[in-house]
Amino acid sequence: MNITLSPDQKKWLEAQVGAGHFSSVDDALAVAVAELMAINYDDLAWAKPYVDEARAAVARGEAAALEDALTDIDAHVGTLKP
C-alpha cells in the first residue's frame, strides 16, 4: 500500500519518531489507524452510567442554569493570577 502524506504530516511524524514517541513512521501510522478504528467502533456504552447519573441529578434539581455556571466560572477565573 502506498500512502501519500503532506509535507507537514511527514515532518510531524518524523519529529515524533525523533523524539522517541514511536520507533518508526510505520509504527506511528499503525497507532493512528488503530486509534481511528477504536473511535469508529466504540459504542460509548462506557458513558451510559455517567449520562444516567447526570439525568438523575437534573431530575433531583441539582443542575445549574448555564448562565449561573458561566458566572461562577468567570468569578473563579478572575481570581487566577496571570
Is position 2 within any domain? no
35 and 52, same domain (yes or no): no
To 10 degrees, the CA torsion angle through 66, 72, 78, 81? -110
pTM to 2 decimal places: 0.52
| Percent residues over pLDDT 90 in the chain | 82
Exposure b/e, 25-40, CB count within 10 A at least 16 = b:
eeebeeeeeeeeeeee
Q: What is the pLDDT of residues 20-50, one digit of tens each?
A: 999 999 999 999 999 999 998 888 899 999 9
How many domains is the chain partitioned into structurally?
A: 2
Check residue 1 and give its pLDDT: 84
Helix (H, G, I), strand (E, B) or coil at 74: helix
Residues 12, 26 within the same domain:
yes
Domain interval for residue 22 = 7-42
Residue 82 has pLDDT above 90, yes or no: no
